[in-house]
Structure 1
Amino acid sequence: MPSDSKSIAVLGAGAWGSSLASIASANGHDVKIWSRSGSASLADTVKDADIILSAVSMKGVSKIAMELQSLSIPENAVFVTATKGLEAETACTPSQIWQKTFPTHSIVVLSGPNLSPEIQQKLPSATVVASYSATAAELVQVVFSSRHFRVYTNLDPIGVELGGTLKNVIAIASGSCDGLQLGTNAKAALVTRGLTEMVRVGVCWGAKAETFYGLSGLGDLLATCNSPLSRNYQVGYQLAQNKTLDQILIHLKGTAEGVNTCSVLVKRSREQNISIPITQQVYRVLQGEISPRQALEELMERNIKPEYND
């Protein structure tokens, strides 16, 4: 082990958690992985950890945070969240849950155009680590940077986090667009207007607009909206093939976080009067109220207006 080796605890042994663990291990760090189905205890995994990285699904974030709260966590441990989603009950992001549970610890968000199968193949990728603490972000940057995985820092964690979360809803719409064979023009318009919705929501929730034009916003949006490797894209594509949501989710490997995110986003945006027409149509499709083609027709029939009128 190199002299600057860190002890890394990775929570979640899915494709994403395993990919990040592999990067840190290849960089010479001491990595322990925990999952509910594994033999290692949570207490042993996080003992003496310099970095605790959570890659669990959104529905498990609050529960695992509460479990950790009862354990002995190193005073200077940095928490890294690599989960993309919104909590159904509170609409909180993962970093907000971690910060509320561990108010004296630094929280870092890791997000970007990072499809796990490509990272596992060591294809070139880039990501962003964001925190209100520049020191914490730089620590995580050093731990995970490699020849194949370029890591940038950012001081807008909520913007970085929302970029990775909100784009999943647009990816569902994008998958439907391809499933309906609507062409390049339609998809370009959809993704561009989807980014407009992401910025609108993000700024209202306290993020910086420029963050959404970086890797964790536009970058992740492009990757997820154009790749069959994306679970959210697959949901949209298969909906356009007349499969039901239940049929799709039963056979889907892993969690399509955009399904839950869409529901939470629609509810909160109604409360705050935020215009999200694409997301609203995706929600109606997911609820079985309309078909993907009907959703397209309704979007095309909306009142004409200037491109920028917010």
Structure 2
Amino acid sequence: MTTNLATEANETFSTLLNAEPATLAVLGAGAWGSALAELAGHNGHQIQMWSRRLGNTLEEVVDGVDLIVSAISMKGVAATAAKLQEIGIPEHVPIVTATKGLDPESTRTPSQIWEADFPDHPIVVLSGPNLSAEIDRHLPAATVVASSDPAAAEAVQKVFASGLLRVYTSNDPIGTELGGTLKNVIAIASGVCDGLELGINAKSALLTRALTEIIRIGTHLGGQTETFFGLSGLGDMLATCNSALSRNYRVGYGLAQGKTLEGVLEELGSTAEGVNTTNVLIEIANREKIPTPISRQVYRLLNNKITPQQAVEALMERDLKAEFCDIF
């Protein structure tokens, strides 16, 4: 039985690694899921998409596929993984998670949920500075695919790499995932900074100190320091903290203009994962005793405890210290 599974896994990886046409199940038909489907389709792969609004079933979509790509929102990850457990999928099929967020019930990342439910499957994290609106316009971009299974990461790299997307591999899935997740909190803070017209000096200071904070949190939770200086850390933060294409940036910008959180989210008409991520992150920080000064002010702002102006004042009035006293 084990030999057969290993043979099947090798056959699947051979198909993907040799850039032969493969069949992908893309779960989530939103902007990001559609962009990933477009990128894989550009390379000649067959795409089977699923979402609740498409009217098809998970059973139909995952039947006979070579790769499963999850691009569903954070709130749907646990339920979808549980449903796939009921359906059953061959053990050799890799699962790619492209969701950026933290589960409010368990405080786990998406990859940790998939790994717990599918311990015998290769799990690959895909994350980077990838604004879906720019992907749709076929503008060049780069991303990272990370896994503890090097062959699985390389296989996924081959599936998505093209003249439209440069794909790098990594052996740090949790760091890659946390970089893309935590930067959504900082994007809200960045939106506030621009919304208040605080200037380039203030924003440069914010992003630099935010990177220190992300490294502190990420390494505490198991990520590698260098990962947060890469595409899925610093790269993703630069993209989302400087563009109105980022929903999280727009949340912060709207709050700085005096709008309510409910009003901003209604205007967006889609999920801003940074809102939920902020609340879960502070729960984790409290539990693990991790200093998170910037994220904590974002949390207080989102929960109507302070105004945007008061958040800025709170950060400016912190105790004086050496710059590199608290990176780790």
TM range (shorter): over 0.9
Unaligned runs of 5+ in 2: 1-17
What is the one-letter code of the residue matched to 1:11?
Answer: L
Matched pairs, number? 310
SS of residue paired to 2:144: strand
Q: Which whole-Å CA distance do the structure 2 matches of 1:4 and 1:222 have between them?
A: 34
Letter in structure 1 aligned against 2:126: L
Distance 2:19 2:183 in 1: 39
Which residue of 216, 227, 237 corresponds with 1:211? 227
Q: Which residue of 2 aligns with 1:22?
A: 38
Counterpart in the other structure of 2:102 = 86
Residue 288 of structure 2 is aligned to residue 272 of structure 1: yes
Per-residue deviation, residues 100-151 of structure 1 (Å, max 9, x unmatched) = 0000000000000000000000001000000000000000000001101110
Quick one: structure 1 residues 304 and 3, their matched pair in 2 at CA, closer, same or farther if it must change by over 3 Å? closer
Give the counterpart letter for 2:214 in structure 1. Answer: M
- In 2, are the aligned partners of 1:50 and 1:74 still within 8 Å (CA)? no
Give me the whole-angstrom Cα distance separating, in 1, the residues matched to 2:88 and 2:294.
45
Q: How far, CA to CA, are the matches of 1:3 and 1:119 in structure 2?
A: 21
The correspondence of residues 182-261 of structure 1 with structure 2, limited to 5 A, is 182-261=198-277
User: Please, what TM-score do these two structures have when normalized by structure 2?
Assistant: 0.93
> Which digits, 9 at most, give the CA deviation of each residue in 1:56-78, with x for residues without a partner?
00000000000000113122100
C-alpha displacement of 1:40: 2.0
The alignment-based identity, stated in percent, is 60
Number of the residue aligned with 2:139: 123
Partners of 2:19 and 2:201 lie apart in 1 by: 53
Q: 2 CA distance for matches of 1:115 and 1:257?
A: 14
* Deviation at residue 254 of structure 1 after TM alignment: 1.8
Letter in 2 for 1:308: F
> Taking structure 1 as the reference length, what is the TM-score of the superposition?
0.98
Corresponding residue of 2:58: 42
Aligned partner letter, 2:287: E
Distance 2:43 2:19 in 1: 12
Which 4+ stretches in 1 moved above 4 angstroms? none
Distance 1:3 1:89 in 2: 39
Question: Cα offset for 1:212?
Answer: 0.1
Alpha-carbon offset, residue 250 of structure 1: 1.5
Deviations 1:166-208 (A, max 9, x none): 0000000000000000000000000111111100001100110
Query: C-alpha separation between the residues in 2 aligned to 1:182 and 1:229?
Result: 20
User: Which one-letter code corresponds to 1:83 in the other structure?
Assistant: T
**Whole-angstrom CA distance in 2 between matches of 1:184 and 1:69:** 49
CA distance in 2, matches of 1:48, 1:134: 23
Q: Which residue is equivalent to 2:156? A: 140
3-state SS of 1:152 partner: strand
Q: Is contact 2:187-2:237 (8 Å) kept? A: yes
Deviation at 1:39, TM superposition (A): 2.6
Q: 1:111 aligns with which of 115, 123, 127?
A: 127
Q: Provide the residue aligned with 2:9 in structure 1.
A: none
Aligned twin of 2:3: none
- The Cα shift of 1:3 comes to 7.8
Distance 2:320 2:227 in 1: 28
- Check conservation: 1:7, 1:50, Cα contact below 8 A: yes
Residue 226 of structure 1 aligns to a residue whose secondary structure is coil
- Residues 232-277 of structure 1 show CA distances to partners (whole Å, capped at 9, x for unaligned) of 0000000000000011111213211010110111111011111000
| One-letter amino acid of the counterpart of residue 187, structure 1 | K
Corresponding position of 1:154: 170
Q: Does 2:325 match 1:304?
A: no
Flag structure 1 segments of 5+ consecutive residues without an equivalent.
none
**Equivalent residues of 1:158, 1:206 under 8 A apart:** yes
- 1:130–1:137 Cα contact (<8 Å) kept: yes
> What CA distance in whole angstroms lies between the structure 1 residues aligned with 2:75 and 2:115?
17
Root-mean-square deviation over aligned CA pairs: 1.2
Whether contact under 8 Å (2:190, 2:206) holds in the other structure is yes
